[in-house]
Structure 1
Amino acid sequence: MSGGTTTTAAAGKAPLSAAARLRRGAWYQRPRWRRLGALLALAVVMAQVTGEQGVRNDLFHALEQNFTGGGVALWVGAALLVWLIREFRGDAVARAGARLRESTARPAGTVREVSARLLGQRLYRWGALAALLVVLIVLPLTVTTFWQQVLVDQIGVYVLLAIGLNVVIGWAGMLDLGFIAFFAIGAYSSAYWTGGLPVEPPVELNNFLVIPLAVLTCLVAGVLLGAPTLRLRGDYLAIVTLGFHEIVYLVAKNSPELTGGTRGANGLDRFSIDLGFWHYEWALDPVPYYWLQLGFVCVILVLFLRLEHSRIGRAWTAIREDEVAAAATGVDTVRFKLLAFAIGASTSGIAGVIYASKQAFVNPEQFVVLFSVLALAYVVFGGMGSIPGVLVGTAILVWLPQFLRDRVDPQDRYMYLGALLVVMMIYRPQGLWPSRRRQHELKMAEEGVGGADALGARPGGVRG
């Protein structure tokens, strides 16, 4: 009997051990070796990105040069070093980091407490804002002409666009992929009212007088876009806004009798002031345009900050968090969504007039859909719903490709920008400077509380 029992037990253990071996998996499927494979793949990619560029006549020239030189060995060595530290000395590094955090926690807490106390007082808060404004005013006088052009033609323009797009996306929660179309409308409004298009206006106006008309035109365009799309959300709304951009772009490109077509409009008027006893005209110097943009940005920020905490801003927040619940509690979702489209588009009118005056030229290729995607990336990177975050995020992402101009091959500059966006969205999805409400929503989502926007987090706080 005992022999039979032993045989039966051995026979029963054999299938179990086989099943255990199947569940165990191969050695290369274990997390440690998968991390090594990922790091080595990253090293190979970085060796190619930072190595010699390809030539048109030889497709494999760059691969041969980069993988036979010392660059790939350097990157692979760095990857192996990171892997060894992570796998075999990770606990020691974690303990050293914990000791460092403990040693700096008290001074950092003291600094935060003092700064919060000072900024909580109105006098110090206004003093800090005044100091920042002085720095921004003096900034173009301390940089080269190239960076002055970047401040005006790119950072200034995209800051105005991002402030308006933040209303639509960050406050009202509506995805807009065609926002650059309003920028085009503002620029062509400036060209029309200053007599730069084939169609003659009823009266030619100064660019300062064109600004309210361009803003009004963008407001009407925002309403025209919002009215047919009020019942759409998410991906469907994004597709409609993308189609709206293509309509505006193709009309501008294929209507030479109205917009000048692909040739565009040349010789547009620049900003000027004529008081009779004193006359001034903006010329090629970018500094006056920078100060003009800064003045408009300050005025818009004051108005939008008041708007954010008003009844309209609270209604937008309710629509963004749950449109059905907002409608059930009496919020007129139709009206407030139209307001979001219209008010968000208004800043594009100002940006379009300033841009057309500065360039003295408008062409449809200046308003391709890529610029809408970039503006969206700037808002998300800075922090949706946060005005300071949008300003800082836009400035950083516009500055980065220009900073890499003399350091990285032009074909690779935006690769670094894309890598930065990927890392940011993985490790800090709330943005560089998020709003307090957005931070609270993400914290609730990670904890599995309520229906907050998880941005990839699963219920119970488990990340995918």
Structure 2
Amino acid sequence: MSHRDPAGEPRSEDAKPSQLASTLLAPGDVIRGHWDNLDRPVKWLAGVVLFGALALLPLYTPGFIDTPGISFGGTMAQFVMVAIIAIGLNVVVGQTGLLDLGYVGFYAVGAYTVALLTSPTSPWNQVGVEGFLSSDWAWLACVPLAMAVTALSGLILGTPTLRLRGDYLAIVTLGFGEIIRLLADNLSDITNGSRGLDRIAYPKLGEREGLPNGVFSNGNSGGDANYGTWWFWLGLILMIGILLFVGNLERSRVGRAWVAIREDEDAAEVMGVNTFKFKLWAFVIGAGIGGLSGALYAGQVQYVAPTNFNIINSMLFLVAVVLGGQGNKLGVIFGAFLIVYLPNRLLGVHLFGVNLGDLKYLFFGIALVALMIFRPQGLFPVRQQLLAYGKAARKLLRSADDSKAAA
């Protein structure tokens, strides 16, 4: 008869040796084990050092991780945008267990909100004398607007559809993503159709004689501190704020309700959890975060078109969450890094006359197949993190019992 601990996991003495070996040698387990055993102030200090080193990476790039075919600063700017998307999608998919295949639609809504309000080719342009947006602060003012509009679209979509589950919800969200793309392609009088909207506003900072449009403009293309690096720094600040926000939600009643819904929605509802309300919260919060990343994309590229928001990109966002570990914030950030960095690193690398950078979908497909066979919970699964909290709680209870016995 097998013995189980209160978290439902087999005890180490009952586990098979092969299972123990695979657990010990699994990627990320050792790092996560050390991290879980650290005190909270030490974790904060380690986080400050880690993100500080990450911020300096474009300026002091080691040769072995540099991307020779493209600017490393631009690669990191793309990474931080995808990381923000992955965090938002992780709220929906990883923490609440809702399968969303059309998350790129929220990304598109955020990007088009900024584009429609700031592009000179938009009929809704509000920059300048006749509009309500200042030319210097237009992009910054549009960021909260983009998040609000995207959150509202999540509310409109989620209210009638979140009573569905599983494959049915996945089909509905997939349709939403395609509807947004088709609307952007066919509403030519508003979105300029397939031609897209250009000259979108961006932050005006650091304007000087050599850089009349500031450090965030694409004219700042030389050196390590180019416009890609500045966009990376801005996105990193926003990503840290989102991590703190989502982390606080995880430790609150809302986060516990999300976990209960993910593990067993019927049991959670029987225990008194208003599953529809908390699922809608997750959908709206995830949508708002996706809108923020869309605003970053629109400002950095200064051009949006329907082709940038196809279903393939939505699948790549989901791959980042699955690779990193569903429910683990830092894990999905690592997954986003792999999604962005590997194709750019292999760009221009030829093997048997084939550019390896063009085979990213093949590589990610193989990686997913291998992951589902050997590591279905992802590289950094959240389940172990939850068990770590359970172990800490049991240790605290045992120490309380020992103190009572001693008294």
Provide, for residues 168-204 of structure 1, a one-character-per-residue CA deviation record: whole Å limited to 9, x for no partner. Answer: 0011111000000000000011112224422344523
2:319 corresponds to 1:377: yes
Provide, for residues 238-262 of structure 1, a one-character-per-residue CA deviation record: whole Å limited to 9, x for no partner. Answer: 0000111111110000011111111
Q: Where does structure 1 lack aligned partners over 5 or more consecutive residues?
A: 1-97, 441-464
CA RMSD of aligned residues (A): 2.8
Match of 1:253 among 181, 185, 188: 185
2:365 corresponds to 1:418: yes
Query: For the residues of structure 1 that align with 2:282 and 2:55, how far apart are their CA atoms?
Result: 31
Give the aligned partner of residue 216 of structure 2.
Answer: 282
Match of 1:388 among 330, 351, 355: 330
Q: Which amino acid in the other structure matches residue 301 of structure 2?
A: Q
Give the aligned partner of residue 183 of structure 1.
Answer: 107
CA shift in 2, pair 1:140/1:325, >3 Å: same
Q: Which amino acid in the other structure matches residue 256 of structure 2?
A: R
Give the aligned partner of residue 96 of structure 2.
Answer: 172
Give the aligned partner of residue 233 of structure 1.
Answer: 165
1:267 is displaced (CA, Å) by 1.1
CA shift in 2, pair 1:112/1:243, >3 Å: closer
2:46 corresponds to 1:128: yes
CA contact (8 A) 1:270 1:281 kept: no
Q: Which amino acid in the other structure matches residue 199 of structure 1?
A: W
1:215-234 mapped onto 2 (5 Å cutoff): 215-234=147-166
1:416 is displaced (CA, Å) by 2.2
1:321 is displaced (CA, Å) by 1.6
Percent of pairs with identical residues: 39
2:129 corresponds to 1:204: no
CA contact (8 A) 2:117 2:124 kept: no
Give the aligned partner of residue 271 of structure 1.
Answer: 203
Q: Which amino acid in the other structure matches residue 217 of structure 2?
A: A
Match of 1:193 among 92, 111, 117: 117
Q: Which amino acid in the other structure matches residue 192 of structure 2?
A: G
CA contact (8 A) 1:168 1:175 kept: yes
Provide, for residues 210-259 of structure 1, a one-character-per-residue CA deviation record: whole Å limited to 9, x for no partner. Answer: 11111101110111111111221111000000111111110000011111
**Match of 1:140, SS?**
coil
Q: Which amino acid in the other structure matches residue 174 of structure 2?
A: L
Instruction: Give the number of the structure whose alpha-carbon radius of gyration is greater.
Output: 1
When the two structures are superposed, what TM-score results if normalisation uses the length of structure 1?
0.66
Q: Which amino acid in the other structure matches residue 203 of structure 1?
A: F
CA contact (8 A) 2:105 2:176 kept: yes
CA shift in 2, pair 1:123/1:246, >3 Å: closer
CA shift in 2, pair 1:128/1:336, >3 Å: same
CA shift in 2, pair 1:124/1:325, >3 Å: closer
Give the aligned partner of residue 72 of structure 1.
Answer: none
2:85 corresponds to 1:138: no
Provide, for residues 345-369 of structure 1, a one-character-per-residue CA deviation record: whole Å limited to 9, x for no partner. Answer: 1111111111111111111101001
CA contact (8 A) 1:215 1:350 kept: yes
CA contact (8 A) 2:202 2:216 kept: yes
CA contact (8 A) 2:119 2:197 kept: no
Q: Which amino acid in the other structure matches residue 390 of structure 1?
A: V
CA contact (8 A) 1:152 1:290 kept: yes
**Match of 1:131, SS?**
helix
Query: For the residues of structure 2 that align with 1:273 and 1:287, how far apart are their CA atoms?
Result: 14
2:254 corresponds to 1:330: no
CA contact (8 A) 1:195 1:204 kept: no
Q: Which amino acid in the other structure matches residue 216 of structure 2?
A: W
Give the aligned partner of residue 309 of structure 2.
Answer: 367
Query: For the residues of structure 1 that align with 2:155 and 2:302, how far apart are their CA atoms?
Result: 29
CA shift in 2, pair 1:394/1:327, >3 Å: same
- Report which structure shows greater RCO (CA 8 Å, sep ≥6): 2
CA shift in 2, pair 1:114/1:391, >3 Å: closer
1:123 is displaced (CA, Å) by 4.2
Query: For the residues of structure 1 that align with 2:254 and 2:236, how far apart are their CA atoms?
Result: 26
CA contact (8 A) 2:151 2:285 kept: yes
1:124 is displaced (CA, Å) by 3.0
Query: For the residues of structure 1 that align with 2:171 and 2:365, how far apart are their CA atoms?
Result: 23
Q: Which amino acid in the other structure matches residue 191 of structure 2?
A: T
Query: For the residues of structure 2 that align with 1:324 and 1:436, how far apart are their CA atoms?
Result: 20
Query: For the residues of structure 1 that align with 2:229 and 2:206, how far apart are their CA atoms?
Result: 20
Give the aligned partner of residue 61 of structure 1.
Answer: none
**Match of 2:280, SS?**
helix
**Match of 1:270, SS?**
coil
Provide, for residues 303-361 of structure 1, a one-character-per-residue CA deviation record: whole Å limited to 9, x for no partner. Answer: 10011111111111111122222122211122111111100111111111111111111
Query: For the residues of structure 1 that align with 2:111 and 2:179, how far apart are their CA atoms?
Result: 16
Give the aligned partner of residue 76 of structure 2.
Answer: 151
1:268 is displaced (CA, Å) by 1.1
**Match of 1:228, SS?**
helix
Q: Where does structure 2 lack aligned partners over 5 or more consecutive residues?
A: 1-17, 208-212, 219-226, 388-407
1:142 is displaced (CA, Å) by 2.4
CA shift in 2, pair 1:434/1:256, >3 Å: same
1:375 is displaced (CA, Å) by 0.5
1:299-314 mapped onto 2 (5 Å cutoff): 299-314=241-256
When the two structures are superposed, what TM-score results if normalisation uses the length of structure 2?
0.75
Number of aligned residue pairs:
331
Query: For the residues of structure 2 that align with 1:422 and 1:407, how far apart are their CA atoms?
Result: 24
1:121 is displaced (CA, Å) by 3.2
Q: Which amino acid in the other structure matches residue 54 of structure 2?
A: L
Query: For the residues of structure 1 that align with 2:360 and 2:246, how far apart are their CA atoms?
Result: 34
